[in-house]
Amino acid sequence: MAATILDGNKIAAEIRAEVAAGVKTMAAAGVRPGLAVVLVGHNPASEIYVRGKVKSSEEVGLHSEKHTPPESVSTDELLRLIADLNRRDEIDGILVQLPLPPQVDSKRVLLAVDPAKDVDGFHPMNVGFLSTQRPGLVPCTPAGIMEILKRSHILIAGQEAVVVGRSDIVGKPTAMLLINANATVTICHSKTRDLPGVCRRADILVAAIGRAGMITRDFVKPGATVIDVGMNQVTTRTEFERLFAGNAKREEAFRAKGSTLVGDVHPQVAMVAGAITPVPGGVGPLTIAMLMANAVRAARLRRGVPEFSKA
């Protein structure tokens, strides 16, 4: 039987509506949460992500501003910008879009963000809060994955979860959240022996590797929940055939655009999995929704407003 499709657009819309309601309540009390996004240079993917973040901020009613230092910016110049944003009381959240250019010391920049305004949850203090189960700000994509699982009523406690990918942004924090939710968690990476065999143990399989369609049917236990974090552009005919042979709709799109988007999970996995996130329209929309939620949460925590809703 084909897998249940976990609709990220629908879940993200629910969360955005909750956040917008939270923003309205805060506005009635005279507070407008503010989010500052820092986009260095002209990385095309980053520009698209940041456009989405700013648009969504406006839609939920946040004050939002975009800072765009040039590609040639130095670490010290960025540190001065961060210091200014840290100081400004009307800014509750600061997001520095990654990757930064090679001359910039990214770790120093992320360390300079006030942990109370760190809506990406990348500051070591927030990483420590997550690993010790203290209240803090949690990275957006991992937080979004947990929302998909919870709002889709997928059992986590006691389940075997396998996370493929050990990045600081997705793999590690996702594993930590799953541990905190009482799953039994394995993290896999490029040196893992018998990756398909380890993945087949998973009741919940999270793929965050950045390789088009790498997780094939033989990696997946029948009935498992599969969360696909990948966003890869397929541009060659050979790769297209490996992934989408016989799919007329994709064929049409590929012919028209010369490329198509695919996750880290092969489309045929939908024939084995019990539930699966699509690409696009799965995890992606949750990343921005959780950024909005984090901005409001940061504003409440900083300003001592109680957290009365889920937003």
The catalytic residue positions are: 53, 97, 120
Q: Counting contacts by CB under 6 A, is residue 162 touching ligand GUN?
A: no
Q: Shortest gap between Cβ of 52 and ligand GUN (angstroms)?
A: 11
Residues in region 260-299 near ligand GUN by CB under 6 A: 287
Q: Counting contacts by CB under 6 A, is residue 118 touching ligand GUN?
A: no
Handedness of CA 155, 121, 54, 234 (dihedral sign): negative
Q: Shortest gap between Cβ of 119 and ligand GUN (angstroms)?
A: 9
Q: Which stretch binds ligand GUN (CB under 6 A): 67-75, 94-102, 157-165, 197-205?
A: 94-102
Among 20, 31, 98, 305, interactor with ligand GUN by CB under 6 A? 98
What is the distance between the alpha carbons of residues 114 and 112, in angstroms, rounded to a whole number?
6
Token pair of 211 as six digits = 């390789």
- 232 near 244, Cβ under 8 Å? no
Token pair of 147 as six digits = 């929302």
The residue of the chain with the least Cβ separation from ligand GUN equals 98
Cβ distance to ligand GUN smaller for residue 25 or 106? 106
Q: Counting contacts by CB under 6 A, is residue 111 touching ligand GUN?
A: no
What is the distance between the alpha carbons of residues 222 and 201, in angstroms, rounded to a whole number?
10
Cβ distance to ligand GUN smaller for residue 169 or 224? 169
Among 11, 23, 95, 292, interactor with ligand GUN by CB under 6 A? 95
Q: Which stretch binds ligand GUN (CB under 6 A): 90-98, 200-208, 228-236, 258-266?
A: 90-98
Q: Shortest gap between Cβ of 238 and ligand GUN (angstroms)?
A: 28
Cβ distance to ligand GUN smaller for residue 33 or 121? 121
Burial 73-86 (b: 16+ CB within 10 A, else e): beeeebbebbeebe
Q: β-strand 184-188 against 160-164: which pairing, if any? A: parallel
Q: Counting contacts by CB under 6 A, is residue 147 touching ligand GUN?
A: no
Among 56, 57, 64, 97, interactor with ligand GUN by CB under 6 A? 97
Q: Counting contacts by CB under 6 A, is residue 130 touching ligand GUN?
A: no
Q: From residue 85, how far is each of 96, 112, 179, 308 by CA, in Å? A: 11, 11, 34, 27
Is the peptide bond preceding residue 99 cis, with omega within 30 degrees of 0?
A: yes
Any residues with CB less than 8 A from the CB of 59 and at least 6 apart, and which? 16, 20
What is the distance between the alpha carbons of residues 40 and 239, in angstroms, rounded to a whole number?
32
Q: Shortest gap between Cβ of 95 and ligand GUN (angstroms)?
A: 5
- 110 near 123, Cβ under 8 Å? yes
Q: Shortest gap between Cβ of 54 and ligand GUN (angstroms)?
A: 13
What is the distance between the alpha carbons of residues 37 and 54, in angstroms, rounded to a whole number?
8
Q: Which residues bind ligand GUN (CB under 6 A)?
A: 95-98, 120, 140-141, 169, 287
